[in-house]
Every structure is written in C-alpha cells, then in structure tokens.
Amino acid sequence: MDVNVHPAKLEVRFRDRFGLEAAVEAAVHQALGELVSAAPVGRVPLPWQHAAVAAPARVPLDAPPGDLFQHHADAPPPAAGAEQAAAPPFRIVAQVHATYILVEAPEGLLIVDQHSAHERVLYERTMRVLRAGGAGAQTLLFPLTIEFSARELDALEAQRELLERLGYEFAPFGGRTVAVHAVPAPHQRFDAARCLREVVADLAGNRFGALANRMERFAATFSCRAAIKAGHALTREEMAELVARLMETELPAHDVHGRPTIVQLPLAELERRFGRR
C-alpha cells in the first residue's frame, strides 16, 4: 500500500487492488448471507425452508428446468399413508392481483412475490449451470433475427461465452442484426427473444455493475429478465411448484436486487388485530 499518492493523505494506492476488492466482496457476501440477505453465497436456515407445499397435483422438484410450470399428470402416486405421515405444513391459498401468492403456514400467513421468488430460483439454477459448463439448448426451426445497437453488439460479443453456456447460439446476420439459432428453455413461459434483448441492453448499460464477479453479474441479469412477471396469472399447481422451489434455494428470503421474496404475517399478529389476544 502506498500512502504518499496524495499530498493530504486523502487517497491511498494498493499494489493488488483487484485482490483487495475480491476479499472485501467475499467478506460482505458472508456478512449479508448471515443476515438472510440477497447475497448469492452462503446458507442461512429459515423456519420455512425445505418444507413441503400442499397442492392439488404432485410436481417433482427434481424435474428438468423446462418443466418448471408443467403439470405432471404422470407423476408416480405417493406411497400409501405417506401424505398422512408427513402432512405438508404449507397450503397455497390464492393469487392476489396476479402478483402475490398467499400461503398458509403453521406460524401464520406467507405472502410471496412471484417475480422475486422466481428470480431467486432462476439465479441459483443459472449459477449452477454456468459453473457446470453449460446446459442443453432448444434448436429453432426458424432462427430469430434481432437488431442491436453498436454498444449492445459489443456487450453481446463480450458475453458470448456465458450466453452460449446458457443455451443461446447466434451468428452475425448483416449490419447490426444477429440470427439466433438456439435458445435456453428455463420454463414454459420463457420469451427467448425478449429476454435476450433485455439482457444485452442491461449488460451494455452495466446494470448490476455493483457485482464485481462477472458470472454473478450475468446470472443476476438473466434471472431478472427471464423470471415470470407481476401480472401473470398462475395455476395452483404452478404456484405450489414455485413456492416449493423457492424453499429449496440457498437464500430464499431475497431476490438478486435485495428485495424480499416473502413477507410473513404471524398468526399472533392476526389475532391481535382481530382482538383475539
């Protein structure tokens, strides 16, 4: 460290600036993870984690990514007496304003933001895919043609490796247009063209620039754009599967922006408001 770079000692210069940044970032991630934050590393046990969710249909949690919102009518039936022996502590009550999922829990009522919840699920899945070296892609019979600005084309090329690991395959198509020959399929409602446009625009504008790790920044951008949006009506089976998958994540309480995915209304608070205690 050089403390003589500024006459008034208002600045210092580090020999290994990037190593220091990485160490500080890791320390902040660890501290925030212990506070049940949106940090993408670490695990904090929560009272509702890894619990079953009651739903009209049984949806296997180990289904491939493309089956996130599929109804598995051919799923094997539970063993005799299994449901009675392990009654799910959660029950999907309703969807409110096509944005929030109401879940009855033993300790009260959980209100789940469907976009934030899906964003967290997709973020952790995307990080696993990128670290594993890639995932399968859906080859298109007719390529998509998408036009980008010059700045966006630079971002597209800079992130080509990660985009290809995720499942996108594209090539120049003349001018500022690219032809997309294959796309990822993270869920049944995924709009591959819209997502790619928005992801590239975000990357060109350095959204999520606070994340120093390039892979984390890319995964956060993709999961935000690929997640289902507020205002999308979901079936009870879809709501049940989304909540179940959220409970299986490393950090279910927050999305990649740091916003809460779950608001808990304790039963004691409900009883107090209705004058029962």
Statement: residue 33 has pLDDT above 60: no
Looking only at the bridges linking them, the beta strands covering 53-54 and 90-96 are parallel
Q: Which H or E run contains 29? A: helix 17-34
Which pLDDT tens digit goes with each residue over 109-156? 999 999 999 999 999 999 999 999 887 889 999 999 999 999 999 999
**Strand blocks (E) in the chain:** 53-54, 90-96, 100-105, 108-113, 138-147, 169-172, 177-183, 262-266
Pick the CATH number of 136-183+190-226 from 3.30.1370.100, 3.40.50.300, 2.40.440.10, 3.40.30.10: 3.30.1370.100
Measured CA to CA, the distance from residue 69 to residue 11 in angstroms comes to 53
Residue type, 70: Q
Looking only at the bridges linking them, the beta strands covering 90-96 and 100-105 are antiparallel
Task: For residue 201, name the pLDDT band (cuts at 50, 70, 90).
Answer: very high
Q: Which residue in 87, 86, 91 sits closest to 55, CA to CA?
A: 91
Residue ranges, comma separated, of all CATH 3.30.1370.100 domains in the chain are 136-183+190-226
Which pLDDT tens digit goes with each residue over 237-256? 999 999 999 999 999 999 99
Full-model pTM = 0.73
Q: Are 260 and 266 spatial neighbours (Cβ–Cβ below 8 Å)?
A: no
Residue ranges, comma separated, of all CATH 3.30.1540.20 domains in the chain are 45-73+87-133+232-277
State the chain's mean pLDDT as an integer.
80
Write out the two tokens for 103.
């879940």
Measured CA to CA, the distance from residue 36 to residue 55 in angstroms comes to 27
CATH architecture of structural domain 45-73+87-133+232-277: 2-Layer Sandwich (3.30)
